[in-house]
Structure 1
Amino acid sequence: MSFDDVDFLVKLSRMYYDEERPQKEIADYFNISRSQVSKYLSKAKRLGIVETIIHDNTANRYVDLESEIQKLFGLDHVVLCSTVDAANQKNQLAQAARDYFLRILKPNSIIAVSAGTTVHLMASSYPYTSPMESLTFVPLSGGLGKTHQDIQANVVCELFSQHSGGHFLQLHAPIIVDSSFTKSILLKETFVDSIFSVCKKADICLLGIGNAPIYEEMRATYLANSEVTNVDREIVVGDVSYNFIDKNGEIVDCAWNNQVIALNLSDLKGIPIRLGIAGGPEKVSAIAAAIQGKIVNSLVTDVNTAQKLLKYKQLK
């Protein structure tokens, strides 16, 4: 059994035994059924996690830090993984996100998916042994582009569907168009509008979070004739599903955002579970901004990043 599985059992047990929460409340918190709560409590006893006390000091290394981050930032859920191997950080994040995703996933769910390396790794590691009835994966952004084709949202959705036995939809549109006028016309087209309509009905969205340098990289690749201003450089702290944001998590008024084909942030915020998956010191300000702007309401990150988030919050 992995540390993440033990962490989950400890957290659930503490809520029931230490905090004396009813099973229905715990079931709602973890997005599982009451019968599953009973099953996990029995499993915790069987494994020796619960006796007359809960052995959280040995079983769960991060539960206190998870709770601190959750309360300080007003998040619904926080899952932390270790930072033992920095070179393998994205794989560790992807596995932690996958395990949490599998716990909260329900049959007939719609899952909206962003592009990105970590989300792609998450899809790649999804176990073939965990099929679920009638899942639908839908992309949050266009995907016909010059670079990073293997991590585009369309590709990630297809990969998730192959591993889970679910369905996938594709958005046959570019990531960026020539003008804001072209964008306004394209968004009205049925083949685009129908995909974003499904996104708005999603139960869960999986969101990678990019840091500020991604802005200049994407602009240079797709908007070579557009000048990036010093104002842009000073304001942009990162992106969520190709929507570039400022330190408050608000959309930045720039050429890229005016021309990108992606679900807008106001609609994205209507999705009940918005899981941000990101780590690394270079992404702290972007993660904090995504939380500040209510773009994400749940977070998977690593311990070092979590500690830096605490310091970042205290400095603010």
Structure 2
Amino acid sequence: METREPLGRVARLHYQHGMTHQEIGELLGFSRVKVTRMLAEARRAGIVEIHIHGEATPFGELEAELTGAFGLAGAWIAPSFSDPERSLASVGMAGAECLTALAPTVRTVAVGLSSSVAAIVAHLRPQEQLPELGFVPLAGSWGGASRGMSPHELVIGFGAAFGARTYHLPAPILAKTADAATAFAADPGVRQTLRLAAGAELLIAGVGAVEAGSGMLADTLTERERGQLTKRGAVGDISARFFDSVGSAVESTVDERVVGMSLRALARIPRRVAVGFGDQKITALRAALRTGLMNHLVTDVDTARTLLRTTRKGN
């Protein structure tokens, strides 16, 4: 990784002096590919910030069609890429635009962990600090290896970007037994955090699927647990709370072990943003949107088009 000084030098030559990547490379003795890479790194590091003055979005017509088809209050659509990591970063950027637009209008944001929601943090560049705003997790944390993510770290990242308050839920997302989950839920710190989450005006969370390989939670469950959920009609989850095709909670041995807000409680939060993309998430996203369980969406172009196509067919 380059230090900030050479990154800043290359950025000034390109953005202020209008030099091409090739011209910069010849001037500084770099290859054109290296200059391109340095400019991308300068943006990621916050050395370069691009402000676009205008309300038009790249996919305004598609967003309007999506909001109309599902009765949404808002939609943010990102480009799709063949590389999953690029698609994840793209959706994270769209999520940052969504959160930057909505967070200043509320006092408390409830946050559900997913890889797509976690991708938002790196792209947040809010224009103002909001010390009265609070970010609170919907559920507990993952034990053991967690792919570098936890709800606590996620809300801290959001809080740092907005200069906001953050809260911790001191419990696992899935307790070992139902009795253990009940004990965790009785803890005063857990109760206080869940009360704050229940009073949030904005929810931003990933929507997961049931199939193995579709996300952190699904990969944590046993084959027997996934079979039980499927048999009972589960098509997706929000922070480990599974729902069926009509948006109703699915009772199961998994649900009994969750330390977090109930599906009914999170559905009472006025603004509910679903963040997710990919073929494995289509059924879950369609159910969450069609039933009103979530009323805003952040996704990519391919997922948006598939949602619309399958909805027109009545699937």
TM-score by length of 2: 0.74
Q: Aligned ranges for residues 1-316 of structure 1 at < 5 Å? A: 60-87=57-84, 88-106=86-104, 109-127=107-125, 130-148=128-146, 150-214=148-212, 218=217, 221=220, 227-228=224-225, 230-234=227-231, 235-316=233-314
> Is the CA contact 1:124–1:160 (under 8 Å) kept in the aligned structure 2?
no
Which residue identity lines up with residue 303 of structure 1 in the other structure? V
Q: Distance between the aligned counterparts of 2:296 and 2:205, measured in 1?
A: 10
Give the conservation status (yes or no) of the 8 Å contact 1:107–1:133: no
1:219: Cα distance to partner?
6.5
TM-score, with structure 1 as normaliser: 0.74
Shift of 1:92: 0.6
User: Measured at CA, do residues 196 and 149 of structure 1 come closer, stay the same or move farther in structure 2, by a change above 3 Å?
Assistant: farther
One-letter code of the match for 1:127? R
Deviates more, 1:71-80 or 1:244-253: 244-253
Contact 1:170/1:195 (CA < 8 Å) preserved in 2? yes
Q: Is the 8 A contact 2:209 2:218 kept in 1?
A: no
Alignment RMSD (CA, Å): 2.5
AA matched with 2:71? G
In structure 2, give the amino acid aligned to 1:74.
G
Report if aligned partners of 1:279, 1:305 keep a CA contact under 8 Å in 2: yes
* Range with greater deviation from structure 2 (306-315 or 77-86): 77-86
Unaligned runs of 5+ in 2: 1-52
Aligned length: 259
Query: What's the CA shift for 1:239?
Result: 1.5
Q: Structure 1 stretch 80-89 or stretch 190-199: which is displaced more?
A: 80-89
Determine the structure 2 residue equivalent to 1:16. none
> Does the CA contact (< 8 Å) of 2:218 and 2:226 recur in 1?
no
> Residue 181 of structure 1: CA displacement?
3.3
SS of equivalent residue, structure 1 residue 106: helix
* Contact kept in structure 2, 1:109 and 1:203, CA below 8 Å: yes
| Dislocated runs of 4+, deviation >3 Å | 214-221
Contact 1:288 1:309 in 2 (8 A): yes
Does the CA-based 8 Å contact 2:110-2:138 persist in structure 1?
A: yes
CA–CA separation in structure 2 for the residues paired with 1:128 and 1:62: 22
Q: What CA distance in whole angstroms lies between the structure 1 residues aligned with 2:88 and 2:280?
A: 13
Q: CA deviation at 1:147?
A: 2.9
C-alpha distance in 2 between matches for 1:264 and 1:314: 31
Q: Is the partner of 1:187 in helix, strand or coil?
A: helix
Shift of 1:296: 0.9
Change (3 A) 1:265 1:293: farther
Q: How has the CA–CA distance of structure 1 residues 108 and 299 changed in structure 2, closer, same or farther, with 3 Å as cutoff?
A: closer
What's the % identity of the aligned pairs? 23
Q: Which blocks of at least 5 consecutive residues in structure 1 are unaligned?
A: 1-42, 50-58
Q: Is the 8 A contact 1:108 1:134 kept in 2?
A: no
> Does the 8 A contact of 1:107 with 1:135 survive in 2?
no
Partner of 1:37: none
- Find the aligned partners of 2:67 and 2:266 in 1 and give their Cα distance: 21
Offset of residue 303 of structure 1:
1.4
Cα 1:80–1:229 change in 2 (3 A) is closer
The amino acid of 1:65's aligned partner reads L
Paired with 2:292 and 2:154, the residues of 1 have a C-alpha distance of 24
